[in-house]
Amino acid sequence: MDISQTIFEECTDDLGPEKIIHIYEPVSKLRAIVVIDNIAAGPAIGGVRMAPDLTTTEVRRLARAMTLKNAAAGLPHGGAKAGILSDPKTGEKEQIIRIFARAIECLHDYIPAPDMYTDESCIAYIFDEIQRSVGLPRELGGIPFDEIGATGFGVAECAGIAKEYIDLDLNGARLVVEGFGNVGKNAARFLGEKGVRLVAASDTSGTVYNRDGIDVPALVRVKEEKGSVIYYEDAERLKTGDLLKISSDIFVPAARPDVVDERNVGTLDTKLILQGANIPITIGAEKVLHDRGVLSVPDFIANAGGVITAAVEYRHGSEKEAFFEVKSKIRENTKKVLDKTYSEGLYPRVAADAIARERVLSAMRYRRCM
């Protein structure tokens, strides 16, 4: 079977995708992928990420995660995702983003948002080009969800509910964060306010570990000023991949997809996983974890804080409203999913998927079908 057939089959079911668009701009040589998965509930919100090794399948899976996330959160938006195949550390980021924006101008059903390696400035460049994006800087009327830490805030709220199902005391609980970026550092900050103690954090340059605890504001400063967590002094330095061997009570994967898979899941020693990143754990590994008694709250339930805030921004709501909605929607959804999980003997992802799919399918009933 040829590769395009394989991708097509992996990407197609009753929910979507609506469109898969491959972009090539010959002068700049820009290459990008946009997947608009489903727009039944409204125009699709989804992040734009930058990485040289993105694949159609990865963008496709991320777009589906957005459909389910937006539906689970009850937002009037469908799901999409975009990937720019480029090194995010390039000095020409603004130019690349602007070229990308002009290339997607005609995709009126897609509202671009920040994602890995794209921030509020990138989203402002897109807005400047096509007047369509969310996650704008404050000066442009946005609610900068990375700056306020909306997703990390939601992750911490999710913990506040999930702990009840596994009898976990957050006060003093040991936290390990994979990927100390916008989501990871804010999850550590807001979980810290609930008494959770960060013991290890990683980024692409390495891992820092201190069993007695890491000072979160100090680590944030080090990361901002020196570019990596590894320059934090009061901790042992390890390789990036060593993070998964560190024992914890709460593990927050907040970087790339499929970080935990069937091969390395055996090394993970934790009680509660709050999926800060999108699809950070393979379905097979999630099953192994659940069967072992580890509660893993699916990505589109735990990390919906950013998109809930984006939807509030899109309808011109306030930052205060955004925090209120993130808190109430994430707490309510976590409870709904975990009640269904334990009462019906399901895997958490199966329960979450069923709730979100039902909402998308209900919205699809109102669409023209020919």
256 binds ligand NAD (CB under 6 A): yes
Q: Which of 47, 144, 192, 348 binds ligand NAD (CB under 6 A)?
A: 47
- Residue 81 is a catalytic residue: yes
Question: Taking CB under 6 A as the rule, does residue 98 contact ligand NAD?
Answer: no
Q: List the beta bridge partners of residue 238.
A: 207
For residue 129, the minimal CB distance to ligand NAD (Å) is: 21
Q: How far is the CB of 49 from ligand NAD (least distance, A)?
A: 6
Distance, in Å, from the CA atom of 40 to the CA atom of 55, rounded to the nearest integer, reads: 25
CB of 7 to ligand NAD, least distance (A): 20
- Of the candidates 81, 93, 163, 185, the residue annotated as catalytic is 81
| Identified binder of ligand NAD from the candidate list 116, 244, 294, 297, rule CB under 6 A | 116
Per residue, what are the HEC states of 165-198? Answer: HHCCCCCCCEEEEECCCHHHHHHHHHHHCCCCEE
Q: Which of 96, 173, 176, 183 binds ligand NAD (CB under 6 A)?
A: 183
Which of 146, 157, 313, 325 is the binder for ligand NAD (CB under 6 A)? 146
Count CB-CB contacts under 10 A for residue 190: 23
Other Cβ atoms within 10 Å of 345 Cβ, number: 9
Find the distance separating the first CA and the last CA of the chain, reported in whole Å.
Answer: 30
67, 182, 334, 341: which one binds ligand NAD (CB under 6 A): 182
Token digits for 76? 């009037």
131 Cβ contact partners less than 8 Å away, ≥ 6 residues apart: none
CB of 151 to ligand NAD, least distance (A): 4
Angstrom distance (rounded) from CA 326 to CA 370: 37
- Considering the complex, what minimum distance in angstroms separates the CB of residue 293 from ligand NAD? 26
**Whose CB is nearest to ligand NAD?**
181
Side chain identity at 315, as an amino acid letter? R
Q: Is the CB of residue 178 less than 8 Å from the CB of residue 253?
A: yes
Task: Work out the angle between the directed axes of helices 216-226 and 182-192 (0-180°, nearest 10).
Answer: 160
Judged by CB under 6 A, the chain residues 193 through 212 that form the site for ligand NAD are 202-204
Query: Can you spell out the DSSP letters for 43-62?
Result: SEEEEEEE-TT--HHHHHHH
How deeply is 239 buried, as exposed, middle or buried, from its count of CB atoms within 10 A (0-12, 13-18, 19+)? exposed
| From candidates 254, 265, 311, 330, binder to ligand NAD by CB under 6 A | 254
Between 256 and 359, CB nearer to ligand NAD: 256
Q: Pick out residues in 290-319 that bind ligand NAD (CB under 6 A).
A: 303, 306
In the complex, minimum distance from the CB of residue 88 to ligand NAD, in angstroms, rounded to a whole number: 8
- Residue 47 or 142: the one with the smaller Cβ distance to ligand NAD is 47
144 interacts with ligand NAD by CB under 6 A: no
Which amino acid would we find at residue 340?
K
Query: What whole-number distance in Å separates Cα of residue 318 and Cα of residue 77?
Result: 18
Residues touching ligand NAD, count (CB under 6 A): 27
Active site residues: 81
> Which residues of the chain form contacts with ligand NAD (CB under 6 A)?
47, 114-117, 145-146, 151, 178-184, 202-204, 240, 254-256, 276-278, 303, 306
